Amino acid sequence: MLGWSKNFPLGRKGPFFVRTFTIPLTPPYSFERLLQRLQTHPDPQLEVQPEHNMLRRIFRVGTRPVLTRVQFVGELEQPALKIETASALSAAEQRELERTIRHVFSADLDLLPIYEQMREEPELAVLVDRFSGLRLMHDSDLFQSMVKTIIGQQINLTFAANLTQRLLTLAGEEVADEQGVKFLAFPTAEAVARLSTEDLRPLQFSQRKAEYIIDYARAIVDGKVDLERLWAMEDEEIIAHLTPLRGIGRWTVECLLMFGMGRPNLLPAADIGLRNGIALVYKMDNKPDEREIRRIGERWAPWRSIYSLYIWEAVGAVKRKEVWEE
């Protein structure tokens, strides 16, 4: 629900007016858990101010980069997002920005029926209690989501974040706030399509990874891939549509479906992190193979994506050295 007004932002000096609105969130919603996940899943587009329960980043409205402040207000059971931007937006652009933010922060996901099903397994009930209110933070657009997924293939999260930052610096658009703090917008498909592998290789992109990213951008620019069409397609249709592209296999498209589109019933069974997490949560002596993961995941339908998130977060909690007790 849009309710725009002009206010003086926190911590800013002078007559610098901003537009604000509030987005109610479906409870429970834990900003604390989101911040903890960001510790092990760094995002170079974000400026995080935990003391103010606040994030700042650029969202694209159409092709236009809009610097936005997102502040979590309320509590676990009465959560909301307070949004601020200094950009002048039309009514249609305001609605588009709100839609994007609702999508990114999974604002409308009702976790309660998922938790009810998860509690049927004691191993997963522990995760519900521990991570209550956690949900996926989605990518803001499908081009960005696929590029980040290709970047992340077969490398660790920290190096993937570093490569993403280098791509942002090379081809993204720069926006400064009123105090001169600079933010980078994720580059458009057109900007990436203009690159060559020689541009990316000095940034430590492998030859293949550079080729795959540029090929994907050019496929969009040339009209071979219409990202808007994907929203009307079923999961398997999207997988069949995108996997003929070089460097894009089933796992890559499953990540796009989960992290880019917010599809609720994805099970990336080939993911090494999911293998590690299932072995941890179910106390297995050996890591399960893909076939075993799919067998276990059958009982997670129709919310396999959310189950996978909570399994991954169990691994993240161990990496962060959180006390792990049942």
Taking the CA atoms of 43, 10, 67 and 26 in sequence, report the sign of the dihedral they define: positive
The span from the CA of 45 to the CA of 38, in Å, is 12
Q: Tokens 């409308």 sit at which residue?
A: 108
Q: Which of 21, 27, 106, 36 is nearest to 71 (CA)?
A: 21
Considering the candidates 110, 271, 285, 289, report the single residue annotated as catalytic: 271
Which of 69, 70, 71, 65 is closest to 93 using CA atoms?
A: 65
Smallest CA-to-CA distance from 20 within 81, 103, 104, 102 is with 81
Spatial separation of the C-alpha atoms in residues 231 and 85, rounded to whole Å: 28
Measured distance CA(303)–CA(288) in Å, rounded: 20
In angstroms, the CA 12 to CA 171 distance is 29
- Using alpha carbons only, give the angle 268, 273, 275 rounded to the nearest 5 degrees: 75
Q: 271 an active-site residue?
A: yes
Residues involved in catalysis: 271
